[in-house]
Amino acid sequence: MTEEFFMREALRIARHAEGRTSPNPLVGAVVVRDGKIVAQGWHRKAGTPHAEIHALNMAGELSRGATLYVTLEPCSHFGRTPPCARAIVDAGIKKVVAAMSDPNPKVAGRGFDILRSAGIEVEVGLLEDEARKLNEAFLKWVTRKLPFVTLKFACSLDGKIATVGGQSQWISCEASRKFSHGLRDINDAILVGIGTVLADNPSLTTRLVDGKNPVRVIVDSNARIPLDATVVTDKSARTIVAVTSNAPPEKISALENLGVETVTAGDGQRVDLRILMHELAAREITSVLVEGGATIHFAMLQAQLVDKVLAFVAPKILGGSQALTAVAGAGFDKLSDAVELENFTVQQVGADFLLSGYVRGVSP
Protein backbone atom coordinates (compact mmCIF):
# COMPACT_ATOMS: atom_id res chain seq x y z
CA MET A 1 0.00 0.00 0.00
CA THR A 2 1.26 3.47 -0.91
CA GLU A 3 1.27 6.77 0.95
CA GLU A 4 -1.41 7.97 -1.48
CA PHE A 5 -3.62 5.03 -0.49
CA PHE A 6 -3.39 5.95 3.19
CA MET A 7 -4.15 9.61 2.51
CA ARG A 8 -7.12 8.72 0.34
CA GLU A 9 -8.45 6.65 3.21
CA ALA A 10 -8.06 9.66 5.52
CA LEU A 11 -9.93 11.83 3.00
CA ARG A 12 -12.65 9.22 2.63
CA ILE A 13 -13.39 8.85 6.33
CA ALA A 14 -13.31 12.63 6.84
CA ARG A 15 -16.50 12.80 4.75
CA HIS A 16 -18.37 10.69 7.30
CA ALA A 17 -19.09 13.92 9.15
CA GLU A 18 -19.96 16.06 6.12
CA GLY A 19 -22.26 18.87 7.17
CA ARG A 20 -21.70 18.21 10.89
CA THR A 21 -18.39 19.86 11.84
CA SER A 22 -18.99 23.52 10.98
CA PRO A 23 -17.39 25.91 11.72
CA ASN A 24 -14.56 23.40 11.98
CA PRO A 25 -13.13 21.64 8.92
CA LEU A 26 -13.65 18.04 7.90
CA VAL A 27 -10.58 16.06 8.98
CA GLY A 28 -9.63 12.41 8.74
CA ALA A 29 -6.58 10.66 10.21
CA VAL A 30 -5.10 7.17 9.98
CA VAL A 31 -2.26 5.62 11.98
CA VAL A 32 -0.02 3.31 9.94
CA ARG A 33 2.49 0.86 11.37
CA ASP A 34 4.54 -1.65 9.38
CA GLY A 35 2.62 -0.75 6.24
CA LYS A 36 -0.82 -1.41 7.72
CA ILE A 37 -3.58 0.82 9.06
CA VAL A 38 -3.87 0.13 12.79
CA ALA A 39 -6.27 2.94 13.69
CA GLN A 40 -8.33 5.70 12.15
CA GLY A 41 -10.53 8.57 13.21
CA TRP A 42 -12.42 11.58 11.95
CA HIS A 43 -13.67 14.80 13.47
CA ARG A 44 -17.37 14.51 14.21
CA LYS A 45 -18.54 17.86 15.53
CA ALA A 46 -17.16 21.19 16.74
CA GLY A 47 -16.29 20.96 20.42
CA THR A 48 -15.59 17.22 20.29
CA PRO A 49 -12.18 15.51 19.86
CA HIS A 50 -10.40 16.04 16.57
CA ALA A 51 -9.62 13.29 14.07
CA GLU A 52 -6.07 12.81 15.34
CA ILE A 53 -7.25 12.23 18.90
CA HIS A 54 -9.76 9.59 17.84
CA ALA A 55 -7.06 7.80 15.81
CA LEU A 56 -4.43 8.00 18.55
CA ASN A 57 -6.84 6.74 21.20
CA MET A 58 -7.76 3.81 18.99
CA ALA A 59 -4.11 3.00 18.29
CA GLY A 60 -2.94 3.20 21.90
CA GLU A 61 0.65 1.94 22.24
CA LEU A 62 0.72 1.11 18.53
CA SER A 63 1.17 4.86 17.94
CA ARG A 64 4.80 4.70 19.11
CA GLY A 65 7.04 4.73 16.07
CA ALA A 66 4.07 4.85 13.68
CA THR A 67 3.18 7.25 10.85
CA LEU A 68 0.12 9.47 11.05
CA TYR A 69 -1.65 10.49 7.84
CA VAL A 70 -3.95 13.47 8.31
CA THR A 71 -5.89 15.62 5.85
CA LEU A 72 -5.11 18.94 7.55
CA GLU A 73 -2.30 20.34 9.69
CA PRO A 74 -2.82 19.36 13.35
CA CYS A 75 -3.98 22.27 15.48
CA SER A 76 -1.54 23.97 17.83
CA HIS A 77 -3.83 26.08 20.01
CA PHE A 78 -6.39 25.67 22.76
CA GLY A 79 -9.79 26.27 21.20
CA ARG A 80 -12.87 24.22 21.96
CA THR A 81 -10.43 21.32 22.52
CA PRO A 82 -6.71 20.98 23.48
CA PRO A 83 -4.03 21.14 20.73
CA CYS A 84 -3.61 17.97 18.65
CA ALA A 85 0.05 18.62 17.80
CA ARG A 86 1.08 18.15 21.43
CA ALA A 87 -0.99 14.94 21.70
CA ILE A 88 0.79 13.56 18.61
CA VAL A 89 4.17 14.23 20.24
CA ASP A 90 3.08 12.59 23.49
CA ALA A 91 1.79 9.53 21.60
CA GLY A 92 5.24 8.83 20.15
CA ILE A 93 4.36 9.22 16.48
CA LYS A 94 7.53 9.11 14.35
CA LYS A 95 6.27 10.75 11.14
CA VAL A 96 3.32 12.91 10.11
CA VAL A 97 2.11 13.18 6.51
CA ALA A 98 -0.39 16.03 6.05
CA ALA A 99 -2.32 16.87 2.91
CA MET A 100 -2.16 20.62 3.55
CA SER A 101 -1.34 23.31 6.05
CA ASP A 102 -4.13 25.02 7.97
CA PRO A 103 -4.71 28.62 6.79
CA ASN A 104 -6.42 29.46 10.08
CA PRO A 105 -4.26 32.27 11.56
CA LYS A 106 -4.42 30.47 14.92
CA VAL A 107 -2.55 27.53 13.36
CA ALA A 108 -0.83 28.49 10.07
CA GLY A 109 2.27 26.32 10.39
CA ARG A 110 2.54 26.33 14.18
CA GLY A 111 1.30 22.76 14.38
CA PHE A 112 4.09 21.61 12.09
CA ASP A 113 6.62 23.64 14.11
CA ILE A 114 5.64 21.79 17.30
CA LEU A 115 6.04 18.43 15.57
CA ARG A 116 9.39 19.23 13.99
CA SER A 117 10.72 20.68 17.25
CA ALA A 118 9.96 17.33 18.87
CA GLY A 119 11.96 15.50 16.21
CA ILE A 120 8.96 14.23 14.24
CA GLU A 121 9.42 14.02 10.47
CA VAL A 122 6.79 16.08 8.65
CA GLU A 123 5.70 15.91 5.01
CA VAL A 124 3.10 18.29 3.57
CA GLY A 125 1.22 18.39 0.27
CA LEU A 126 0.13 14.83 -0.50
CA LEU A 127 -3.24 15.04 -2.35
CA GLU A 128 -3.50 18.71 -1.44
CA ASP A 129 -6.00 19.52 -4.22
CA GLU A 130 -8.39 16.87 -2.94
CA ALA A 131 -7.98 18.13 0.61
CA ARG A 132 -8.75 21.69 -0.44
CA LYS A 133 -11.91 20.61 -2.24
CA LEU A 134 -12.97 18.63 0.83
CA ASN A 135 -12.86 21.82 2.91
CA GLU A 136 -13.66 24.49 0.33
CA ALA A 137 -16.28 26.05 2.60
CA PHE A 138 -14.03 26.16 5.67
CA LEU A 139 -11.12 27.57 3.66
CA LYS A 140 -13.14 30.46 2.28
CA TRP A 141 -14.74 31.21 5.63
CA VAL A 142 -11.50 31.19 7.62
CA THR A 143 -9.49 33.23 5.10
CA ARG A 144 -12.08 35.69 3.69
CA LYS A 145 -14.72 35.83 6.43
CA LEU A 146 -17.40 34.87 3.91
CA PRO A 147 -19.43 31.68 3.52
CA PHE A 148 -18.97 29.42 0.51
CA VAL A 149 -22.06 29.91 -1.67
CA THR A 150 -23.61 27.27 -3.90
CA LEU A 151 -26.35 28.36 -6.31
CA LYS A 152 -28.67 25.46 -7.10
CA PHE A 153 -31.72 25.28 -9.36
CA ALA A 154 -33.74 22.82 -11.43
CA CYS A 155 -34.89 23.76 -14.90
CA SER A 156 -36.19 22.38 -18.16
CA LEU A 157 -34.02 21.86 -21.20
CA ASP A 158 -34.95 25.37 -22.35
CA GLY A 159 -34.03 26.92 -19.00
CA LYS A 160 -37.50 27.34 -17.48
CA ILE A 161 -38.16 26.83 -13.77
CA ALA A 162 -41.95 26.90 -14.16
CA THR A 163 -44.57 26.66 -16.87
CA VAL A 164 -46.19 29.76 -18.30
CA GLY A 165 -49.06 29.02 -15.91
CA GLY A 166 -46.69 29.04 -12.94
CA GLN A 167 -46.52 25.30 -12.25
CA SER A 168 -43.08 24.23 -11.01
CA GLN A 169 -43.69 20.96 -9.11
CA TRP A 170 -42.06 18.91 -10.29
CA ILE A 171 -39.72 19.80 -13.15
CA SER A 172 -36.92 17.65 -11.76
CA CYS A 173 -37.19 13.93 -11.07
CA GLU A 174 -37.42 12.28 -7.67
CA ALA A 175 -33.72 11.34 -7.68
CA SER A 176 -32.75 14.97 -8.25
CA ARG A 177 -35.00 16.12 -5.44
CA LYS A 178 -33.44 13.58 -3.08
CA PHE A 179 -29.99 14.82 -4.14
CA SER A 180 -31.12 18.37 -3.40
CA HIS A 181 -32.21 17.43 0.11
CA GLY A 182 -28.75 15.97 0.57
CA LEU A 183 -27.36 19.40 -0.30
CA ARG A 184 -29.52 20.98 2.39
CA ASP A 185 -28.20 18.40 4.83
CA ILE A 186 -24.53 19.30 4.28
CA ASN A 187 -24.85 23.10 4.03
CA ASP A 188 -25.03 25.34 7.08
CA ALA A 189 -27.77 27.55 5.62
CA ILE A 190 -30.31 27.73 2.80
CA LEU A 191 -31.17 31.15 1.32
CA VAL A 192 -34.21 32.24 -0.66
CA GLY A 193 -35.85 35.52 -1.57
CA ILE A 194 -39.14 36.69 -0.11
CA GLY A 195 -40.86 35.99 -3.44
CA THR A 196 -40.28 32.27 -2.97
CA VAL A 197 -41.78 32.37 0.53
CA LEU A 198 -44.84 34.35 -0.61
CA ALA A 199 -45.44 32.10 -3.61
CA ASP A 200 -44.74 28.64 -2.14
CA ASN A 201 -44.66 28.94 1.67
CA PRO A 202 -41.83 26.37 1.78
CA SER A 203 -40.44 24.72 4.90
CA LEU A 204 -36.83 24.71 3.53
CA THR A 205 -35.98 21.64 5.61
CA THR A 206 -34.23 18.37 4.83
CA ARG A 207 -36.51 15.43 4.15
CA LEU A 208 -33.77 12.83 4.65
CA VAL A 209 -33.89 10.34 7.50
CA ASP A 210 -31.49 11.66 10.17
CA GLY A 211 -30.99 14.73 7.99
CA LYS A 212 -29.83 18.05 9.43
CA ASN A 213 -31.98 21.09 8.76
CA PRO A 214 -30.02 24.14 7.60
CA VAL A 215 -30.45 27.63 8.99
CA ARG A 216 -33.13 29.30 6.86
CA VAL A 217 -32.23 32.74 5.53
CA ILE A 218 -34.96 34.85 3.90
CA VAL A 219 -33.93 37.98 1.96
CA ASP A 220 -36.85 40.30 2.67
CA SER A 221 -35.94 43.97 2.35
CA ASN A 222 -39.20 45.36 3.72
CA ALA A 223 -40.12 42.52 6.10
CA ARG A 224 -43.12 41.39 4.06
CA ILE A 225 -42.94 37.82 5.35
CA PRO A 226 -46.29 36.71 6.84
CA LEU A 227 -46.19 35.97 10.56
CA ASP A 228 -47.89 32.65 9.84
CA ALA A 229 -45.33 31.54 7.22
CA THR A 230 -44.05 28.01 7.78
CA VAL A 231 -40.45 29.16 8.28
CA VAL A 232 -41.69 31.46 11.06
CA THR A 233 -44.00 29.10 12.89
CA ASP A 234 -42.78 25.50 12.51
CA LYS A 235 -39.68 25.77 14.76
CA SER A 236 -38.01 23.04 12.66
CA ALA A 237 -34.90 25.12 12.18
CA ARG A 238 -33.39 28.48 12.99
CA THR A 239 -34.73 31.26 10.73
CA ILE A 240 -33.00 34.53 9.86
CA VAL A 241 -34.83 37.30 8.00
CA ALA A 242 -32.56 39.84 6.30
CA VAL A 243 -34.05 43.32 5.98
CA THR A 244 -32.98 46.90 5.33
CA SER A 245 -33.24 49.80 7.72
CA ASN A 246 -36.50 50.73 5.94
CA ALA A 247 -38.31 47.67 7.30
CA PRO A 248 -41.16 48.53 9.74
CA PRO A 249 -39.87 48.32 13.34
CA GLU A 250 -43.15 46.84 14.55
CA LYS A 251 -42.85 43.96 12.07
CA ILE A 252 -39.27 43.34 13.17
CA SER A 253 -40.40 43.17 16.80
CA ALA A 254 -43.22 40.79 15.91
CA LEU A 255 -40.83 38.45 14.11
CA GLU A 256 -38.32 38.49 16.95
CA ASN A 257 -41.09 37.79 19.47
CA LEU A 258 -41.83 34.66 17.46
CA GLY A 259 -38.21 33.53 17.72
CA VAL A 260 -37.03 34.71 14.31
CA GLU A 261 -33.66 36.44 14.07
CA THR A 262 -33.49 39.59 11.98
CA VAL A 263 -30.42 41.07 10.35
CA THR A 264 -30.31 44.60 9.00
CA ALA A 265 -28.10 44.58 5.93
CA GLY A 266 -27.95 48.02 4.37
CA ASP A 267 -30.12 51.11 4.30
CA GLY A 268 -31.12 51.13 0.64
CA GLN A 269 -34.16 49.74 -1.13
CA ARG A 270 -32.71 46.23 -1.25
CA VAL A 271 -30.73 44.09 1.14
CA ASP A 272 -26.98 44.50 0.60
CA LEU A 273 -26.09 40.88 -0.06
CA ARG A 274 -22.40 41.32 0.66
CA ILE A 275 -23.15 42.77 4.09
CA LEU A 276 -25.54 39.87 4.66
CA MET A 277 -22.88 37.30 3.75
CA HIS A 278 -20.44 38.87 6.21
CA GLU A 279 -23.16 38.83 8.88
CA LEU A 280 -23.78 35.13 8.26
CA ALA A 281 -20.06 34.38 8.40
CA ALA A 282 -19.85 36.20 11.74
CA ARG A 283 -22.53 33.77 12.97
CA GLU A 284 -20.23 30.86 12.04
CA ILE A 285 -22.23 29.98 8.93
CA THR A 286 -19.55 28.69 6.56
CA SER A 287 -21.70 27.47 3.67
CA VAL A 288 -24.90 28.74 2.05
CA LEU A 289 -27.13 26.98 -0.47
CA VAL A 290 -29.10 29.46 -2.59
CA GLU A 291 -32.37 27.97 -3.87
CA GLY A 292 -34.41 30.79 -5.36
CA GLY A 293 -35.98 32.58 -6.82
CA ALA A 294 -34.72 33.77 -10.17
CA THR A 295 -34.27 37.38 -9.04
CA ILE A 296 -32.12 36.49 -6.02
CA HIS A 297 -30.10 34.16 -8.25
CA PHE A 298 -29.10 37.04 -10.50
CA ALA A 299 -28.48 39.38 -7.57
CA MET A 300 -26.08 36.90 -5.97
CA LEU A 301 -24.25 36.34 -9.25
CA GLN A 302 -24.08 40.07 -9.98
CA ALA A 303 -22.62 40.71 -6.53
CA GLN A 304 -19.95 38.07 -7.24
CA LEU A 305 -20.91 36.11 -4.16
CA VAL A 306 -21.52 32.71 -5.79
CA ASP A 307 -18.71 30.14 -5.75
CA LYS A 308 -20.38 27.13 -7.31
CA VAL A 309 -23.41 26.48 -9.53
CA LEU A 310 -25.44 23.26 -9.60
CA ALA A 311 -28.11 23.01 -12.30
CA PHE A 312 -30.45 20.04 -12.56
CA VAL A 313 -31.65 19.96 -16.16
CA ALA A 314 -34.73 17.87 -16.90
CA PRO A 315 -35.29 16.45 -20.42
CA LYS A 316 -38.41 18.58 -20.88
CA ILE A 317 -39.17 21.61 -23.02
CA LEU A 318 -41.71 24.03 -21.57
CA GLY A 319 -41.54 27.05 -23.87
CA GLY A 320 -43.35 30.31 -23.24
CA SER A 321 -41.77 33.73 -23.45
CA GLN A 322 -43.36 34.65 -20.12
CA ALA A 323 -42.35 31.44 -18.32
CA LEU A 324 -39.86 32.01 -15.52
CA THR A 325 -36.21 31.29 -16.19
CA ALA A 326 -33.65 30.10 -13.64
CA VAL A 327 -31.87 33.47 -13.55
CA ALA A 328 -33.81 36.69 -14.05
CA GLY A 329 -33.05 40.20 -12.82
CA ALA A 330 -31.67 42.89 -15.08
CA GLY A 331 -29.25 40.56 -16.81
CA PHE A 332 -25.83 41.41 -18.25
CA ASP A 333 -25.55 43.72 -21.27
CA LYS A 334 -22.47 42.13 -22.81
CA LEU A 335 -21.27 38.59 -23.29
CA SER A 336 -17.98 39.64 -21.74
CA ASP A 337 -19.86 40.29 -18.48
CA ALA A 338 -21.41 36.83 -18.38
CA VAL A 339 -20.67 34.58 -15.44
CA GLU A 340 -18.38 31.79 -16.65
CA LEU A 341 -17.94 28.42 -14.99
CA GLU A 342 -14.81 26.29 -14.86
CA ASN A 343 -13.94 22.78 -13.67
CA PHE A 344 -17.28 21.88 -15.23
CA THR A 345 -18.77 18.41 -14.78
CA VAL A 346 -21.89 16.61 -16.00
CA GLN A 347 -23.50 13.59 -14.37
CA GLN A 348 -26.82 11.84 -14.74
CA VAL A 349 -29.17 11.85 -11.75
CA GLY A 350 -32.21 9.72 -12.45
CA ALA A 351 -33.78 11.08 -15.62
CA ASP A 352 -32.06 14.46 -15.20
CA PHE A 353 -28.57 15.77 -15.77
CA LEU A 354 -26.65 17.63 -13.08
CA LEU A 355 -24.39 20.33 -14.49
CA SER A 356 -21.93 21.76 -11.98
CA GLY A 357 -19.03 24.14 -12.06
CA TYR A 358 -17.12 26.78 -10.12
CA VAL A 359 -17.50 30.46 -10.92
CA ARG A 360 -14.33 31.64 -12.60
CA GLY A 361 -12.40 34.21 -10.64
CA VAL A 362 -14.53 34.00 -7.50
CA SER A 363 -13.82 30.64 -5.88
CA PRO A 364 -11.06 30.58 -3.24
Q: Which of the residues are catalytic?
A: 52
Cα–Cα distance measured from residue 345 to residue 324, given in angstroms and rounded to the nearest whole number: 25
Residue type, 4: E
145 within 8 A of 278, measured Cβ to Cβ: yes
Nearest-angstrom CA–CA distance, 208 and 179:
10
Give the whole-angstrom CA distance, residue 337 versus residue 21: 37
